[in-house]
Structure 1
Amino acid sequence: TDVLADTALEVIPDSVAVLPFANLNPDGENTLFALGLHDEVINQLTKIRSLNVIARNSVLTLVDQELPLPEIRRLLRVESVMTGTILFADSQARINLQLLDPTSGVSFWAGTYEADIGNLDAMLEIQSDIALHVAEALEAEIRQSEQALITSRPTESFEAYRYNLAARNAHYQQDYAMEWSLVKQALELDPNYVDAWLLFASLNTVLVGTPLPGMSSRDHFELGLQSAERSIELAPDNSQGYALKAVALGTSKDWEGVAEAVDTLLNMDTPLSELKYVSLLLLCLGDFDRAIEIYEANLITEPLNLYGRGFLMAALEMAGRREDAQREYLIGEELNPVWWGDTVNVFLALGRDDALRDIDDLVGISAELKALLHRVDEPEAVRSAVFAYLDKPDKISAEALFYSALAAHIGELEVSVQLLRESLQDVWTGLHWYWLPLFDEARQLDSFKQLLNESGLVDYWNQHGWPKVCRPLEEGFSCDWTAY
């Protein structure tokens, strides 16, 4: 079923998608400039809150499919599209841009810029000029503070700027080791470079779960937290620093610190779409409804944020909205047949006793585990494999979570909790999985309650109020809540 077509979603008001600029004479250096300019124009436009700017990854996913403009408009629900070309001659670049109505293809704004790509001042001036002219063409309201932010100079070092651009490109290629090295060099050249500190904070938070060779989860946690705090020190009005600090604190079960950072974000009147980093923390805390609200807001400008849509599926299932969860899965399947939602759907299907789908498309797990998932209706085979895995000395976090789910599915509840514990590997944000219906019975075990006590969530709830997933008793607490 074409869910997107059947839904007939309305166009997002004041929305624009910036397509990659065509590089008319590409080589290694020119390609990095073209990629960087596209990225920077999106970043500058995103600073204008009255605009809904489609995220880079969502745009690139559709462009890579070579879809026509009307189809891009349908999938992204945008009012306007920016296209452009770049022609290089030695150190000079001519940039031709236009804004189009994606339905008719008619241009309603065009601009031409000449740039010296070896001059930082010229580069920054062009980026801010493009953003301001586009906003004017779209009749967007620009606050004085936003205009000051757009025209401000992010760094005094052209080399640091280039390293940060290259680091962001490495991030999009998921080359995290290269990204780590490049952004670190940018910070060595300019220790006051806020954008680089934010990138370093985000990267190290991701790497807590999968550390780089020679580093530990603790190393990445400390670097992520230090980087977020440094960005806050340099730019206290930038909400992203507080969001990244909250995520770093959540991985180390500092829920008081998480709550403080989230309160700061709310007091800053941060748009919901910019709270995407904290939505997973809210799931851990049992606040499903607020997490759903954030995921849905984020998907307006990041419709192809496949991780966000997958986590939204999980949150909807936790909140007892199974039909909505299934709808999000079908939308994700239409947008990209191989995606994170395939993994989430395994956990949802096991809890529903539904047939598993797309097992062979799952990423990050072994062929052995995929073969076992194909035999999920053979409880003795599953039980034997689960206990064999339990005896393994070294476990991969993602696989341990799958085996925890399989153990719960066949009624080996104590084993399920033990494997959940091993899957966490000191990254406590993984606890959110256990609010899924699949784990309803396992949540009632004393071993799970002990794990919750160790996580710090019980102390936090005693101070700030209990969510619906658990409730205090005269002695201890119970987690006998179920969504269905």
Structure 2
Amino acid sequence: MNAEKYSPPSTEVKSIAVLPFVNMSADVENEYFSDGITEEIINALTRIEGLKVIARTSSFSFKGKNIDVREIGRQLVVSAVLEGSVRKVQNRVRITAQLINAADGTHFWSKNFDRNLEDIFELQDEISLLIANQIRENFGHFNIQEHLVGKPTKNMQAYELYLKGHFYQLKWDADSIREATKYYEASVALDPGFARAYYGLVQSYGLLAAWGYMPAEEGFSKATHNFMIAADIDKSLPEYGMSFVGRTFWKNWDFQPTYTQLCETLELYPKYTDALEAMAELFLAHGYWPQAEEYIRRAMDVDPLSANHYYTLANINYYQRKFELALELVEKALYINPEFVLAYELKTLCLIWLNQKDIFEAFISDHENAATKRLLFKVINGSKKVLPSATIEEWREVAKDERQMVPYELFILANANHKEEAFELLKEYIEQKRGQIINFRQDPSLEPLREFDGFAKLHCSNFEYQEVEKVSTDKTADSKPSRSELDVQMKKLMDFIDAEKPFLDAQLNLSRLAGSVQLHPNRLSFLINEKTGMNFNEFVNQFRLAHFKEIAVDDKNAHITILGLAYESGFNSKTVFNAYFKKIENTTPGIWLKQARQ
């Protein structure tokens, strides 16, 4: 990797990674449930504006790995990490969760939950809100909605079937996706109003059809059928936008509606990585390089360990003929996911264009189509320009192979003395609207075909993009209090603290204090941050520290230990007390007290 160009950003303060909850159930097959709970919490937290939440792909890359939480925080560039476990027994579920400071590995919140399965959505909402509040209290202000998790279905059995379908779909192989369709179909049979299960069917049938693992007409027909049902039920879900885009973009090459829908989806879900990546791919297909890179960078910010995102960024550079940088990026994608087939193909093309023969030979030696790849290498880098007529005749039918990942035969013909045959073959691919050549306008392997008068007319894109000046739209600006209102609220808060000393309560939290001074928790969090520059815990701990120092030097308390004095001052953790004391006083409590009593 080029460290100067792709060095990671510094840790963001208000940020979290939710690691896969461990399945503690006796049945190992309940892993689908613990994975599903984890993803639901990730999705819930993602709804909070101002909180960076690492996407599922990157969080789940640590599944089953014994890696220090501080290292995970460094790799994902977050300040907090959530760990947990799930135990499901019949109709009961027990969830444990621990929130950890990624900087030093200390636990600053933990809780156990024991509920009926029927209450699972309320439990997901409760956990998500508690986590969000803890991050806000420890790292700074952001607004939190009243609820983060809705109730997508009233049928718990349908929900469990959906989670099983989603679990198999995310394995991303044909057999697993076929298995996913069975669970999704069973889910909607139990609850015909369960939109998310229908969208699961849309994606699964669409993938099977696009990959050639079921007849295209049948697969796309089933996907469309389920899409129409799902859209009638709920268009507000992000899956609606991506299902719509899957049809308009990849199936129909209808780019303007794709762009409109992606804009609408990202307006509602600005951190939705599938939409960000799709937008990058849309701009890539039309040669808008800065815009393509901007969107994939936004996706990588919340999903830094996604092989797909590195692959897309590599593609953006490949199509600009920045082959060395593209090779670095695609190797990163393969490091993250060694079984990423498309990344193997892109690396092959990079090695060909860089004329790295020895590395190329070693890399493709065990590939099934190694002979075809060698021929492309010779055509581009050598003197091989004429092919046997039998080979050309054989390749006339190659466009019918729906499982073909990369049209190597087309590339060979285009760069040899058979450009007319290549042009006719390209027309076939475009008539089929094959995803493999959706970027044909930018493809370096098709550069020789640009000399044909009809090249620009092969497909007329309806995409029109105009740079629009970005205007800052602060959604909370209208509701922000004036400076004079803040002053009044701050005086009320300080008067209450002076009179009631609420900081002596070790269980004091933002919501409880907000109720005491009759402010909404969002408003109190904003007030403290705006007027003091502190987060909630820093604000409260300053009073606890002042109280500790006052009672510690009082002779009548000489028989009480330092930790006992800290607890009497409202601190509920030895680690938190010591760390905060040293941060403020630049010494340990013991040394300070010894000096103060002299």
Q: Under a length normalisation based on structure 1, what TM-score does the superposition of the two structures give?
A: 0.80
Distance in 2 of aligned mates of 1:382 and 1:368: 23
Question: Which residue of structure 2 aligns with residue 432 of structure 1?
Answer: 438
Question: Does the C-alpha gap of structure 1 residues 179 and 195 become closer, same or farther in structure 2, counting only changes over 3 Å?
Answer: same
Letter in 2 for 1:436: D
Question: Does the C-alpha gap of structure 1 residues 355 and 312 become closer, same or farther in structure 2, counting only changes over 3 Å?
Answer: farther
Distance in 1 of aligned mates of 2:321 and 2:314: 11
Letter in 1 for 2:299: N
Distance in 1 of aligned mates of 2:79 and 2:296: 22
Q: Cα deviation per residue 1:223-282 (whole Å; 9 max; x = unaligned)?
A: 444544544443344344123312311212333432442454466584574433343233
Question: Which residue of structure 2 aligns with residue 97 of structure 1?
Answer: 97
Q: Where do residues 362-373 of structure 1 align in structure 2 (5 Å cutoff)?
A: 367-373=367-373
Question: Which residue of structure 1 aligns with residue 591 of structure 2?
Answer: none
Letter in 2 for 1:86: V
Letter in 1 for 2:352: L
Give the superposed CA RMSD: 3.6
Larger Rg: 2
Distance in 1 of aligned mates of 2:302 and 2:465: 33
Question: Which residue of structure 2 aligns with residue 126 of structure 1?
Answer: 123
Shift of 1:10: 2.2
Which of 167, 173, 183 lines up with 1:169 in the alignment? 167
Letter in 1 for 2:57: N
Q: Cα deviation per residue 1:57-110 (whole Å; 9 max; x = unaligned)?
A: 322223345433333223222222111123455543332210112342211111
Distance in 2 of aligned mates of 1:441 and 1:20: 49
Moved over 6 A (4+): 358-362
Which of 413, 429, 434 lines up with 2:419 in the alignment? 413
Letter in 2 for 1:26: A
Distance in 1 of aligned mates of 2:263 and 2:2: 40
Question: Which residue of structure 1 aligns with residue 392 of structure 2?
Answer: 387
Partner secondary structure for residue 276 of structure 1: helix
Shift of 1:130: 0.9
Shift of 1:193: 1.6
| Identity of matched residues, % | 19
- Equivalent residues of 2:82, 2:99 under 8 A apart: yes
Shift of 1:391: 4.2
Partner secondary structure for residue 115 of structure 1: strand
Distance in 2 of aligned mates of 1:437 and 1:352: 12
**Unpaired segments of 5 or more residues in structure 1?**
468-484
Partner secondary structure for residue 201 of structure 1: helix
**Unpaired segments of 5 or more residues in structure 2?**
468-598
Partner secondary structure for residue 63 of structure 2: helix
Q: Is 2:134 the partner of 1:137?
A: yes
- Equivalent residues of 1:17, 1:59 under 8 A apart: yes
Question: Which residue of structure 1 aligns with residue 349 of structure 2?
Answer: 347
Shift of 1:367: 4.1
- Equivalent residues of 1:100, 1:109 under 8 A apart: yes
Shift of 1:417: 3.7
Letter in 2 for 1:241: Y
Q: Cα deviation per residue 1:388-444 (whole Å; 9 max; x = unaligned)?
A: 650456524425513223333445433444444455683444333321223222233
Letter in 1 for 2:134: A
- Equivalent residues of 2:281, 2:292 under 8 A apart: yes
Question: Does the C-alpha gap of structure 1 residues 243 and 224 become closer, same or farther in structure 2, counting only changes over 3 Å?
Answer: same
The count of aligned residue pairs is 450
Question: Does the C-alpha gap of structure 1 residues 372 and 14 become closer, same or farther in structure 2, counting only changes over 3 Å?
Answer: same
Question: Does the C-alpha gap of structure 1 residues 286 and 188 become closer, same or farther in structure 2, counting only changes over 3 Å?
Answer: farther
Distance in 2 of aligned mates of 1:361 and 1:71: 32
Distance in 2 of aligned mates of 1:19 and 1:398: 36
Question: Does the C-alpha gap of structure 1 residues 427 and 23 become closer, same or farther in structure 2, counting only changes over 3 Å?
Answer: same
Question: Does the C-alpha gap of structure 1 residues 134 and 425 become closer, same or farther in structure 2, counting only changes over 3 Å?
Answer: farther
Q: Is 2:298 the partner of 1:297?
A: yes
Question: Does the C-alpha gap of structure 1 residues 333 and 270 become closer, same or farther in structure 2, counting only changes over 3 Å?
Answer: closer
Letter in 2 for 1:284: A
Shift of 1:152: 1.9
Question: Which residue of structure 1 aligns with residue 243 of structure 2?
Answer: 244
